[in-house]
Chains A and B, each alone.
Chain A
Amino acid sequence: MRYSGFRVLREGLFGHKGWKPAWRDPAPKTHYDIIIVGGGGHGLATAHYLAKIYGEKSIAVLEKGWIGGGNVGRNTTIVRSNYLLDGNEPFYEFSLKLWEGLEQDLNYNAMVSQRGILNLCHSDAQRDAYRRRGNAMLLNGADAELLDPDQVRRMAPFLNFDNARFPIKGGLLQRRGGTVRHDAVAWGYARAADSRGVDIIQNCEVTGFRIEKGRVKGVETSRGFIGAGKVGVAVAGSSSRVMEKAGMRLPLESHALQAFVSEGLKPVLPGVITFGAGHFYVSQSDKGGLVFGGDIDGYNSYAQRGNLPVIEDVCEGGMALMPMIGRARLLRMWGGIMDMSMDGSPIIDRTPVDGLYFNGGWCYGGFKATPASGYVFAHLLSTDQPHDTATAYRFDRFRRGYLIDEKGVGAQPNLH
Chain B
Amino acid sequence: MLIPHPLLGPRDSAEFTYLGDASLIARPDGMSDGADEAFYDYLYLRDNPAGIHRELWFHEQGDRSWLVVTRNTLTHEILGAELARDVAMAQRNTPEAKA
Residues of chain A at the chain B interface (Cβ within 8 Å): 238, 240-241, 249-254, 298-303, 307, 309, 342, 398-399, 411-414
Contact = CB atoms under 8 A, between A and B. Distances in A.
B13 A309 contact: yes
A399 B71 CA distance: 30
A399 B42 CA distance: 11
Interface stretch (B27-35, B43-51, B83-91): B43-51
Interface in B8-22: 12-14, 17-21
Contact of B73 (A303, A342, A398, A411): A303
Contacts of A307: 1, 13, 76
Nearest to A248: B45
B39 to A, nearest CB: 10
A313 to B, nearest CB: 9
Interface of B: 1, 12-14, 17-21, 40, 43-50, 53, 55, 57, 71, 73-76
A411 B50 contact: no
B47 A299 contact: no
Nearest to A395: B44
Contacts of A251: 44-46
Given A299-B55, A300-B53, A301-B76, A240 B20 contact: no
A252 B18 contact: no
Contacts of B47: 240, 249
Q: Binding site of B, secondary structure by majority: helix, strand, loop or mixed?
A: mixed
Contacts of B75: 303
A298 B49 CA distance: 16
A129 B46 CA distance: 32
B73 A302 contact: yes
Nearest to A304: B74
Contacts of A254: 48, 50, 73
A87 B48 CA distance: 26
B62 to A, nearest CB: 15
10 A-B pairs closest in CB distance: A240-B48, A309-B14, A251-B44, A302-B50, A398-B44, A249-B45, A299-B18, A342-B44, A300-B73, A302-B73
Contact of A240 (B12, B17, B19, B46): B46
Contact of B20 (A249, A303, A309, A412): A412
B1 A253 contact: no
Contacts of A412: 19-20
B55 A411 contact: no
Nearest to A342: B44
B48 A253 contact: yes
Given A253-B20, A307-B1, A309-B14, A300 B55 contact: yes
A411 B43 CA distance: 7
Contacts of B49: 240
B2 to A, nearest CB: 11
A53 to B, nearest CB: 33
A399 B19 CA distance: 21
Contacts of A309: 12-14
A301 B73 CA distance: 5
21 contacts: A240-B46, A240-B48, A241-B48, A241-B50, A249-B45, A250-B45, A250-B48, A251-B46, A252-B48, A253-B46, A254-B73, A299-B13, A300-B48, A300-B53, A300-B73, A302-B74, A307-B13, A309-B14, A411-B43, A413-B20, A414-B18
Residue among A249, A253, A299, A414 with the highest chain B CB neighbour number at 10 A = A299
A349 B12 CA distance: 41
A399 B74 CA distance: 30
Nearest to A256: B76
Interface centre among B43, B47, B71, B73 (most CB of A within 10 A): B73
Contact of B40 (A241, A301, A399): A399
A302 B19 CA distance: 17
Which among A253, A298, A412 has the highest number of chain B CB atoms within 10 Å? A253
Nearest to A398: B44
A16 B72 CA distance: 49
A301 B75 CA distance: 8
A309 B50 CA distance: 22
A301 B72 CA distance: 8
A89 B68 CA distance: 39
Q: Kindly name the residue among B1, B14, B46 whose own CB sees the greatest number of chain A CB atoms within 10 A.
A: B46
A342 B43 contact: yes
Nearest to B19: A412
A376 B28 CA distance: 37
